[in-house]
Amino acid sequence: MDTKSIELRIEGLREGKKLSPDLLDVDELVNLLSYAKDFLYPEKNHERSRVSIRLEDGSAVIKFLVAGAVAIQSQALLGELNANHDLGLLKPKQTEAIHNIQQFISMENFTLQFGLSEKLSEGLTITRQTEWIHPEEIWVDEELYMVGEIVDVGGKTNPNIHLDTKEFGTITISSDREKLKEDDKNRLYKKQQVSIRIKKNLHTGEIDKKSAKLLAFIDFDENESADEYLDRLIAESKPYMDKIEDPEEWLKNIRGYDGSY
């Protein structure tokens, strides 16, 4: 397989000495490897060949041996990013990786270069002073299912439930008064799955926890298998789904798509 070398080269001083790999903590190395991998392979389910790494002196240099096509595509993107600093060119994981890299080098005023080893000067250079152009934020409505413990229910003027989740912490989910009034189950301090509508950033994937609205309580049996649970949800939703004349248009509306992007 044709491979090429992509490298992170970090320059600066630490402990009064010129930076070298042995002056980097193991956690810093692991984090930098993770950031670089996220930039090179931003898709969650992206199939990739084995990535080899090499540490070299001459500042602190981390080299990645990756597939030639990946290296060339990444170099082109890094060069364009270096020219205009527009984060709108990137996928969410790549944007997060760049922010994390800059946060690292800013702590001790390092300079970092990222690109093809033989064309490093044509890649991306980041310093503490590097400023970025952020894409216009586009928020869309998305339907999500969340599981957590309900720790509060009610509210006189703004009825809501407070759901304590592992993934997002405690989320305040607004609800119609009638929906809570008509619910005949005591759900307080019990594990509960809910269907909610919430705002999601189209570029970063970030959710706006303040925008959550309750669609339904989803009752489930913890002893029920995943297949049984899925079959039951499909059966329960079928009468509603059968009424939808244009599923594609319905899905666009659910996601907040208006054709402008």
118 and 199 assigned to the same domain: no
The answer on 167 and 54 residing in a single domain is no
Q: What percent of the chain has pLDDT over 70?
A: 80
- Same domain as 57, residue 22: yes
260 inside domain: no
Last residue of a domain, one of 97, 126, 155: 126
Tell me: do 157 and 235 sit in the same domain.
yes
Structural domains in the chain (count): 2
Give the residue from 261, 259, 254 showing the smallest Cα distance to 144: 254
| CATH number of 214's domain | 2.40.50
Last residue of a domain, one of 126, 149, 177: 126
Average pLDDT over residues 101-117: 93
Give CA–CA dist 80/122, Å, rounded.
Answer: 9
More confident residue, 256 or 156: 156
- Least confident interval from 23-32, 134-143, 170-179, 250-259: 250-259
Give pLDDT, residue 9: 93
**pTM for the model:** 0.54
Same domain, 146 and 86: no
Question: What pLDDT is recorded for position 261?
Answer: 44
Do both 154 and 212 map to the same domain?
yes
Does residue 93 fall inside a structural domain? yes
Q: Does 155 fall in a domain?
A: yes
pLDDT at 148: 92
Of 252 and 109, the structure prediction assigns the larger pLDDT to 109
Same domain, 113 and 12: yes
132: in domain: no
Same domain, 119 and 186: no
Same domain, 181 and 226: yes
Please say if the pLDDT value at position 223 is more than 70.
Answer: no
Mean pLDDT of the chain: 84
Share of the chain above pLDDT 90, in %: 41
Element (H, E) at 209: strand 207-218
Q: Given pLDDT bands bounded at 50, 70 and 90, which one contains residue 71?
A: very high
Residue 157 lies in a domain: yes
Whether 261 is in a domain gets the answer: no
**98 and 159, same structural domain?**
no
Radius of gyration of the chain (CA): 24
Residue 98 resides in a domain: yes
Among 6-10, 34-38, 167-171, 239-243, the range scoring the smallest mean pLDDT is 239-243
CB neighbours of 196 closer than 8 A, spacing ≥ 6?
143, 144, 145, 146, 173, 212, 213, 214, 215
Q: Are residues 121 and 146 in the same domain?
A: no
Spatial distance between the Cα atoms of 239 and 244, rounded to a whole number of angstroms: 10
Q: Of the residues 105, 126, 147, which one is the last residue of a structural domain? A: 126
Residue 134 is assigned to a structural domain of this protein: no
User: According to the model, what pLDDT value does residue 161 have?
Assistant: 95
Picking from 149, 147, 150, the residue whose alpha carbon sits closest to that of residue 160 is: 150
Name which of 174, 172, 154, 175 is nearest 163 in CA terms: 172
183 lies in the same domain as 221: yes
**What residue numbers bound the domain in which 85 lies?**
3-126
Distance CA 14, CA 63 (A): 21
pLDDT of residue 56: 77
Across the range 136-147, mean pLDDT stands at: 84
